[in-house]
Amino acid sequence: MKRSTKIGIVTSGGDCQGLNAAIRGVGKALFQHLDNAEIFGMYDGYRGLIEGDYKYMEERDFSGILTQGGTILGTSRQNYIAGKAILDEGGNDAMPAMMDTYNRLNLDCLVVMGGNGTQKSAKLLVDAGMNVITLPKTIDNDIFGTDTTFGFQSAVDIATNVIDYIHSTASSHRRIFVVELMGRDAGWLTLDAGVASGADVVLIPEIPYDIEKVAQAIDHRRKQGRYYTIVAVAEGAVSIHDAVLTEEARRRAKALMKHSTISYRIASELESLSGQEARVTVPGHYQRGGPPCPYDRVLATQFGTAAARLIIEKQYGYMIGVQGGRIVPVPLEDAASRTKFLPKDHPLIETARDIGIFLGD
């Protein structure tokens, strides 16, 4: 009797739209092409792999989840030491426990879905001897080796919708509205949403901003009869003064900051410099919630089925990505090697400048 092909699925890190669509793509494709697939869903990310907490998944578990947000398996963030170890709740090396679950279930492959940090930690699983295939999910779109990640377009749609609605109240009261969007290290989400929604100022981590120049841009708008301003700010935006600090000095400065987030600091400074009332909107985790948009449903399904094909072909150690419209395997060591920041010469930055969006510099 032919041995079953046994697969574990892990959804790790922050949730986002499209995870269930990707889970569905993996499961349906494996059951479609294999007569003897066995799939185990690990509960709450790496925790399930560490503690041996999992669900044996049947074909019906992959039905009716395409449009669901979040992940049916649950997720969590696992501490890890970059390039060295994944840690359990007690701060101990979790690899022996993870390897024990992997071996006890006699898994042929582990499919790990996650963001930038998860790609790096998944590489540690490969180094430990596990067969791994990863899928890139994050609303930040900052994973190297793929043009886009699933979850990103859904978040852009939500962030754009938020700013669309802010326009009317901002114009009614002639205020400055600072809308803080997610993106700790990379500005993809804020730039896309800013261009799509007609924001007037877009501040992203890759381009340190000069608050006085931002105030001057707002004043210039007023002189032209445009009495309100929408400022889209990535949560990781940094001023020209903070940009020259070391990472440690920047952390200390942030701890001493009297404002809860960067957007409140910017709003306060703009009120002082411009004399115009400023308000803040922070949609926060709202950007990661709800059903995936059609684009992400399709992309996540493509990623999931591509992972299944690699499993069937016994090709491991890859992340599934999209490059130039084609779904391709990317060596995991490449995907985990760096963060995909928004290049300062990116065509969308040029487009933003061409239509008069001020980028803070």
Q: What is the pLDDT of residues 96-154, one digit of tens each?
A: 999 999 999 999 999 999 999 999 999 999 999 999 999 999 999 999 999 999 999 99
Rounded Cα gap, residues 318 and 334, in angstroms: 9
Q: Where are the domains of the chain?
A: 5-150+292-335, 154-288
Give me 212's structure tokens: 């006085």
In sequence order, the 6+-apart residues with CB closer than 8 A to the CB of 197 are 159, 160, 162, 163, 164, 167, 230, 232
Rounded Cα gap, residues 6 and 109, in angstroms: 7
Fold of 5-150+292-335: Rossmann fold (3.40.50)
Tell me: the pLDDT tens digits for 227-242? 999 999 999 999 999 8
Structural contact between residues 148 and 323, judged by C-beta atoms closer than 8 angstroms: no
| pTM, two decimal places | 0.92
Tell me if 5-150+292-335 shares its fold with 154-288. Answer: yes
Per-residue pLDDT 10s for the chain (361 aa) are 567 899 999 999 888 999 999 999 999 999 999 989 999 999 999 999 999 999 999 999 999 999 999 999 999 888 888 778 888 888 889 999 999 999 999 999 999 999 999 999 999 999 999 999 999 999 999 999 999 999 999 999 999 999 999 999 888 888 999 999 999 999 999 999 999 999 999 999 999 999 999 999 999 999 999 999 999 999 999 999 988 887 777 777 676 667 778 999 999 999 999 999 999 999 999 999 999 999 999 999 999 999 999 999 999 999 999 999 999 999 999 999 999 999 999 999 999 999 999 999 9
Give one word for 232, left, alpha or beta, with left for phi > 0 and alpha for psi -120 to 50: beta
Among candidate residues 15, 44, 88, 140, the one labeled active-site is 140
142 annotated active-site: no
Which CATH architecture group holds 154-288?
Answer: 3-Layer(aba) Sandwich (3.40)
Please give the span between the terminal C-alpha atoms of the chain, in angstroms, as a whole number.
Answer: 67
